[in-house]
Amino acid sequence: MKFFSIDSPLYRFMQRLTDVLLLNLLWLLFSLPIVTIGCSTAAAFSVAMKFVDESEGHIFSDFISGFKANWKQGLPLGIISVIAGMAIYLDFFIADNSEKGLPFLIIGFLTAYFLIFSLLYVFPLIVRYENSIANSLKNSFRLAMRHIGRTILVLLVVAFEIILIFWSEVTLFIGLLIGPACVIYTISGTAMHIFRETEKEPDAVSNPEKLHEHDGQ
């Protein structure tokens, strides 16, 4: 029956769901030491961006290649993200448990704002382009601000996905299976759209703080 053929929407959906499950499993396994979470996130983005580009090959080999190619930048970015996240949590914790917590609350919100905007596109950036970590963080923030409408939209979608994951014990179990990969896939779609627009700009290759595409990407 055509409904069950390899060209049917059902088959394509099941194939993509299987891909997301496998990608999520690889991300979880390679993030287990915690310190490697940045490397595994970069690897997952390298696969998810191929999903978006419809140029994926073999997920396992693509993930391993992405891990090896981006670990030097992924490792410090993961550590930076964890430390910054802990600092924000500490600010809000102090603000909630102190009579003079307003300054910590303001610092927490400002830090969260800069952290989210600086990290939102940074992993897709290091996967697609040759650049320093500092410039990748700057470019992520600039792209987020420049495309603020899309950025807010993708943040709302990601927030909805996270709320849905923690909605109940059932959704938490499902979220454990596919949640992180779905969030990465969501961000990758927006990032790729922004990158393609930016690459059309005449100074995208001449400015050292802009975008220098990886060979073969």
Q: Where are the domains of the chain?
A: 2-199
Whole-number pLDDT of residue 217: 45
Give Rg (Cα) of the chain.
Answer: 19
Question: Measured between alpha carbons, how far is 77 from 84 in angstroms, rounded to an integer?
Answer: 10
Q: Give the pLDDT score at 94.
A: 87
Using alpha carbons, select from 160, 147, 161, 159 the residue that is nearest to residue 190. 147
Least confident of 27-36, 93-102, 182-191, 205-214: 205-214
Q: Is the dihedral of CA 112, 31, 124, 44 positive or negative?
A: negative
Phi and psi (nearest 5°) for 129?
A: -130, 155
Residue identified by tokens 């990407």 is 217
Q: Which residue has the higher pLDDT, 51 or 150?
A: 150
Q: pLDDT band for 16, please (50, 70, 90 cuts).
A: confident
Q: What is the phi/psi pair of residue 213, to 5°? A: -70, 140
Instruction: Name the residue with higher pLDDT: 136 or 209.
Output: 136
The rounded distance, in Å, linking the Cα atoms of 155 and 150 is: 8
Model pLDDT, residue 208: 41
Return the closest-CA partner of residue 37 out of 70, 1, 86, 4. Answer: 70
The average confidence (pLDDT) of the chain is: 86
- Report the predicted TM-score, pTM, of the whole model to 2 decimal places: 0.86
3-state secondary structure of 46: helix
Over residues 21-28, mean pLDDT? 94
91 pLDDT tier (thresholds 50, 70, 90) = confident
